[in-house]
């Protein structure tokens, strides 16, 4: 059972469209403001001239501090941006109570352990889903759209490679903080903590709310060739929250997922393992099926454990 208690008129079911529009506008405004602030702070904090900003934000900077500066902007205008947007919407607009003490009380070690198993299964399943999504071909009459989306995908992949091509331990730790911790915290607070219960209330169906929030969460990344794997992850995070009533579970799961990828990239850079972030064929069918079994069973156990606790509560 998710917690989002509000009695304000704007959050009522009759005002669902206005509520969602306000939410979008606030989120865009906060992200734009914090990213702009981050760019303004690059020169005083990192000594990078303003005329190098374009090269920096496109991942083409050769400045030795460029990656750290880019990660700083991403952390401030990304993860923290989503967090502050969610905070403004919940507290100032909807005047909602998320019951943080109750959410903390619902978090248990056994739930955390099961969440880790859930994410192992989800990562294995997603490996196959990533390959399928990357190989989707459009009909001939949509070939232009397909080419445009693949070019956009290549641009975003180049930026991702630049961000994660760590040259030092400090850059790696900064990557873990920004890509792992801040992104997991901010995105889950907004999409699962605020948006998901609102959509559940507006649609009258928990599952519709979970999958709609997961779709929006995936769509805002503007990567069609990663849409479905990211949507599955969003749904997993959503069910972790719905079944437990504690936002801590999806936050931790999101952080673990992102941090795991960052760790693989860095270990590859050090020559410890072989991992190519551009390669989609990373998980074989038997392992993907094993992951599906692990995901279904562990999620079922997670649901049962938490339902008993919520009934007792």
Confidence of residue 38 (pLDDT cuts 50, 70, 90): very high
User: Is residue 167 in some structural domain?
Assistant: yes
User: Is residue 201 in some structural domain?
Assistant: yes
User: Is residue 210 in some structural domain?
Assistant: yes
Confidence of residue 193 (pLDDT cuts 50, 70, 90): very high
CA-closest candidate to residue 165, choices 53, 286, 278: 278
* Residue 174 neighbours by CB under 8 Å, 6+ apart: 68, 71, 72
Question: Has residue 35 got a pLDDT over 90?
Answer: yes
Question: Has residue 312 got a pLDDT over 70?
Answer: no
Number of domains in the chain: 1
Q: Are 65 and 171 in contact (CB under 8 A)?
A: no
User: Is residue 2 in some structural domain?
Assistant: no
User: Is residue 148 in some structural domain?
Assistant: yes
- pTM value is 0.93
The number of beta carbons lying within 10 Å of the beta carbon of residue 103 is 19
User: Is residue 224 in some structural domain?
Assistant: yes
Express each pLDDT in 41-83 by its tens digit. 998 999 888 778 777 777 677 888 889 999 999 999 999 999 9
Q: Which residues of 53-85 are buried (b: 16+ CB within 10 A; e: fewer)?
A: beebbebebebebbbbbbbbbbbbbbbbbbbbb
Express each pLDDT in 227-269 by its tens digit. 999 999 999 999 999 999 999 999 999 999 999 999 999 999 8
User: Is residue 3 in some structural domain?
Assistant: no
Q: Domain range for residue 114?
A: 9-312
């Amino acid at each position: 059972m998710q917690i989002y208690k509000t009695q304000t008129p704007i959050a009522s079911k009759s005002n669902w469209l206005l509520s969602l529009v306000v939410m979008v506008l606030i989120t865009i405004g906060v992200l734009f403001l914090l990213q702009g602030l981050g760019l303004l702070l690059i020169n005083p904090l990192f000594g990078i001239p303003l005329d190098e900003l374009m090269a920096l934000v496109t991942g083409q900077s050769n400045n030795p501090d460029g990656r750290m500066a880019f990660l700083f902007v991403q952390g401030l205008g990304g993860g923290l941006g989503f967090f502050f947007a969610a905070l403004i919407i919940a507290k100032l607009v909807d005047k909602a109570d998320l019951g943080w003490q109750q959410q903390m009380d619902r978090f248990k070690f056994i739930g955390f352990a099961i969440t880790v198993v859930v994410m192992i299964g989800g990562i294995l399943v997603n490996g196959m889903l990533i390959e399928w999504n990357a190989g989707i071909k459009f009909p001939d009459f949509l070939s232009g759209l397909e080419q445009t989306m693949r070019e956009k995908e290549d641009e975003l992949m180049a930026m991702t490679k630049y961000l994660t091509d760590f040259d030092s331990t400090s850059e790696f730790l900064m990557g873990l903080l920004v890509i792992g911790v801040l992104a997991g915290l901010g995105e889950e607070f907004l999409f699962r903590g605020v948006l998901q219960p609102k959509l559940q209330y507006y649609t009258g169906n928990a599952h519709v709310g979970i999958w709609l929030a997961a779709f929006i969460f995936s769509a805002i990344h503007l990567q069609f060739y990663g849409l479905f794997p990211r949507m599955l992850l969003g749904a997993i995070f959503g069910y972790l929250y719905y079944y437990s009533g504690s936002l801590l579970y999806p936050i931790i799961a999101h952080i673990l997922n992102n941090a795991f990828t960052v760790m693989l990239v860095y270990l590859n850079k050090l020559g410890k393992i072989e991992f190519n972030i551009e390669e989609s064929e990373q998980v074989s069918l038997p392992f993907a099926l094993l992951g599906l079994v692990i995901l279904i069973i562990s999620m079922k156990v997670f649901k049962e454990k938490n339902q008993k606790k919520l009934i007792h509560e």
